Structure 1
């Protein structure tokens, strides 16, 4: 008799559900596909294995944060085998479910809901490869030893069609919302939003350097449907940007990976906090000066605008409220671990000074958490927010010359952030922008709105912006230098008003964070090489053009 093997420790499967504490170590196969509880357990395991979670490395791959890891991408030092995202083990497990569930006796509605979640997961895994390599082999069924397991790469266009088809199937079988213990499962909203994201990628310059406008039309339609239908079904911008992460599964969350201490945890917050309020890990997500200077003022104008009101001696004053929700700077109030009145000092010689940039990231850092709970984090990861659906739609609209639709989205985003509308109700936006200027504005808004959420690197990549914005440059930080004896300063620091007297006590020194190399993202990095080990085990695979005499064209 055949058996389906499960780990008996699969009690809490964060992205989908809390399971009953049932020993699932050896269940007859026919029972799995005929029993809702067991089939659901299989789907829960797939969700756990396939959905994305917190990633504290992602911000290093752009101008958001100091170099910490993956520097070979930023410095142009990749080899053909550096990027290995080969998701076929997970895809096989997904295909086993999709084939086997048809043999069971589960009612059609429940079966379609389970299949809908799994179709979404397959789309996610294929998209994870396609956005890095272009076309990859499409395998729809679990392969057996009698099959021809040497499969060639499909065209990129075929892969996109396949992924979109899976998302259409997912949307057809899924509800808009789940209730009670099922809250957090994949929904119709997630499928529609993901379809919009993928078609936006496919229309973007990475995949579409010749600017085929029919792709932008398709992306616009998909994102407009997602925006409108999600809004009709209760999705909206959450009112409080700063505390978005701490009211889990609020109306802005479209797709999430759910965590729960002690069973399923992450250490993103510990990695992000300063050492004295962290545990086991620290030093990641430290904002660059370039990121800090990206935020406009509360009137929406950039700090370079003569009428913005920017004061370089108190650069934190009157900024876009997302600044203080995201950036901890020298002398700011940051009451970590519940320490009333705690200030974050980053000057040279301070006990909790930032290690490299002079700044810390405040995004998704819960000040009430002690170092233990920062290291055993249970804050959910929101992979897709309704804000992204809006901005995806706005970008497509701008590409098609529908700039007024894009203006409407940017105003909504800035209004929620707390930027003032101004006398002209433009929230600091430049008036009468053409398509090109509007796209620049949208990309800046994405940089700020999704700060430290792992979106910036992918945006730079799909828009092919590394050469224009980052190549040949270095990232910078600020080392505040205290002008007096540290002990004397700390004795009076509670009486110091840094908004008025910062330069009396400190001199900021600009430092380079890229110590040896400048940023050099190579043109062939927009589609990475397939690692040699995959080519060696499958003679039908072609290497990507631009790598090792590759012949596979990722633009077809």
Structure 2
């Protein structure tokens, strides 16, 4: 009996033992309650087992994690084990949330699968492809842990228990070398595209994007943290991303549609996404992104709120910022701006859907006493909320099913632009890449004078990455690798103007304080190794600097 990709994900997601104990990874056959000795026999067993490994891919929880950056604020910082403490600089090795990215359960899951797959006999081409998918996930997980913790233990073959192994930490560059080995295998054995029941599986384009991101990270660390620019690393990032240009991807016309449930089958711009299914595999983004009193249900938790600084950073349609553009009107601050601004956020004074089915102005200032008023239940703390990944017309606000984009073609374009600007500044392809992003955003195309100034281009590329990937959990890793977190996270997060009589777009007026923030450059560029893991394995010491 054959099952399509999503069906198998549903089967695997319903089995809690799959993820809690890799020795009992398939403690029972998902289809028949058979013992594990009866599993790992057929091609279908291999497919079902792999789809359990797919649960290690990043998902919608990365929306939450954007509040680790200067983009967003968590309304209740203590929630989710202290997720909101990261941007405040209040976390430590004992903070529960710090454990969340220490994913050796996922590493073990991948290695367990690869161990069993190697002993199975079926069509070699398919076997190679399944191995490639698992190795991609293994590489992605190792890369992400390096981004957070730096040097980490490296487990390559046996799916051992890290806490019981007494393994020490391995130099981060050796870990990334191993990740790249796995990515190269994936590139060599994955197809460019899938059709039919296999839509949504890891493909060659995703593998090239992971490769590009690893080199982008390494190049940035060398240049901005170690003061040793390495043009070869930038070139390798460029070359990996450039391979994706050949695969037929493109930008869709409407930025907002990329993040809607109706777009789940879009493979034009989305290279790889975590898959969700209506009523079966769901998430809570619509209710988390909405304030109370908005949307067709009026239910909203306002859990994560964009910062005033982010909203103000969007350019005007003449390509200038709000402080220098003649097009900017503080009384009508959302007009003549980057199109992504209105498509990404609920903004004061702009119409939003209400439970009566009509649209009325969003009014978060407490003076209006609306359901969305800030600093109240369901009101958030900045006065801005998200439309991106939101579905105001959807009645099941706690069961959204929009796919989570892991890699989009827009990122391909911006990796090429950033890399070229560092090892070959002034190259015309930089303009070609960025202009595609800016055209969709309604911004002017780049000028030759922009292109000729590397520093100007670096700033512009960083702005484009920020605005293009809001709430996609790219910004936090960007400000770390560029070594600007010490600047942007040492400013308090603020909201709308506190005096209702001030023009809503007047940036000179006092604002509501949303969150006090602190970033210590001596230690916050890395997270501490979780104390609970150190307690079980003293060879993880010494702790990261400053912790």
Shorter-chain TM-score range? 0.7 to 0.9
**What displacement does 1:324 show?**
0.8
Structure 2 counterpart of 1:5: none
* Larger mean Cα displacement after TM superposition, 409-418 or 189-198: 409-418
Give the whole-Å Cα distance in 1 for the aligned partners of 2:112 and 2:173: 25
Q: Which of 14, 20, 43 is matched with 1:36 structurally?
A: 43
Taking the TM superposition and a 5 Å limit, the aligned residue runs for 1:26-425 are 26-29=34-37, 32-68=39-75, 69=77, 70-82=83-95, 83-84=98-99, 85-143=101-159, 149-205=165-221, 209-214=225-230, 216-227=231-242, 229-246=243-260, 247-248=263-264, 249-276=266-293, 277=295, 282-306=301-325, 308-335=326-353, 339-348=357-366, 349-355=368-374, 356-370=381-395, 373-404=396-427, 405-421=429-445
Match of 1:464 in 2: 483
The count of aligned residue pairs is 503
C-alpha spacing 1:221/1:49, structure 2 compared with 1 (3 Å): closer
1:529 aligns with 2:538: no
Partner of 1:540: helix, strand, or coil?
A: helix
Contact 1:255 1:385 in 2 (8 A): yes
Q: 1:393 Cα shift?
A: 1.8
Conservation of the 8 A alpha-carbon contact between 2:224 and 2:481: no
Could you tell me how far apart the structure 2 residues matched to 1:120 and 1:199 are?
A: 15
* 1:289-333 Cα deviation digits (max 9, x unpaired): 111111001222221224x41111111111111111112222212
Q: Which of the pair has more CA radius of gyration?
A: 1
Q: Structure 1, residues 200-243: CA drift from partner, whole Å, max 9, x if none? A: 111113786224333x423433333323x322221112221121
- What CA deviation, in whole Å up to 9, does each residue of 1:363-411 have, x standing for no partner? 12223312xx221101100011111121122111111142333232221
User: Match of 2:524, SS?
Assistant: helix
> Quick one: structure 1 residues 413 and 265, their matched pair in 2 at CA, closer, same or farther if it must change by over 3 Å?
same
8 Å contact from structure 1 (residues 337, 368) kept in 2: no
Partner Cα separation in structure 2 for residue 294 and residue 507 of structure 1: 11
Give unmatched runs, 5+ long, in structure 2: 1-7, 15-28, 78-82, 375-380
State the TM-score, normalized to the length of structure 2: 0.84
> In structure 2, what is the equivalent of residue 542 of structure 1?
541
Contact 2:70 2:489 in 1 (8 A): yes
Counterparts of 1:403-482 in structure 2 under 5 Å? 403-404=426-427, 405-421=429-445, 426=447, 431-471=450-490, 473-479=491-497
Q: Is 1:56–1:271's contact at 8 Å kept on the other side of the alignment?
A: no
Cα separation, 2, equivalents of 1:232 and 1:369: 37
Displacement of 1:432: 4.6
C-alpha displacement at 1:354, in angstroms?
Answer: 4.1
Structure 1 pair 332/432, CA: closer, same or farther in 2 (3 Å)? same
Q: Taking structure 1 as reference, are residues 13 and 181 closer, same or farther at Cα in structure 2, changes over 3 Å only?
A: farther
Deviation (angstroms), 1:120: 0.7
Q: In structure 2, how many angstroms separate the alpha carbons of the residues matched to 1:175 and 1:151?
A: 36
Q: Distance in 2 between matches of 1:518 and 1:51?
A: 26
Give 1:493's aligned residue.
none
Q: Secondary structure at the match of 2:496?
A: strand
Cα distance, 1:367–1:26 mapped onto 2, change above 3 Å: same
Change over 3 Å in CA distance of 1:143–1:321 after alignment to 2? closer
SS of the residue 1:127 aligns to: helix
Counterparts of 1:289 and 1:507, CA distance in 2: 9
Which residue does 1:553 correspond to in 2?
none
Q: Is the 8 A contact 1:335 1:367 kept in 2?
A: yes
For the structure 1 residues 78 and 54, does the alpha-carbon distance in structure 2 shift closer, same or farther, using more than 3 Å as the test?
closer
| Cα deviation digits, residues 238-270 of structure 1 (max 9, x gap) | 221121122223311111011112111100111
Unaligned runs of 5+ in 1: 1-7, 15-20, 484-501, 549-556
Q: Deviations over 1:32-75 (max 9, x none)?
A: 33311111001011102444334342232222223432343223
Native 8 Å contact 2:495 2:514 kept in 1: no
* Residues in 2 aligned to 1:206 and 1:269: alpha-carbon distance in whole angstroms: 39
Alpha-carbon separation, structure 2, partners of 1:347 and 1:507: 16
Q: Give the TM-score of the pair, scaled to structure 1.
A: 0.83
Kindly indicate whether the alpha-carbon contact (under 8 Å) linking 2:225 and 2:483 is maintained by their aligned counterparts in 1: no
C-alpha deviations, 1:395-450, integer Å up to 9, x for none? Answer: 111111423332322211101222244xxx64xx9625532222111111111111
In the TM superposition, what is the alpha-carbon distance from 1:534 to its structure 2 partner? 1.9
Secondary structure of the 2:105 match is helix
Q: What SS is found at the alignment partner of 1:334?
A: strand
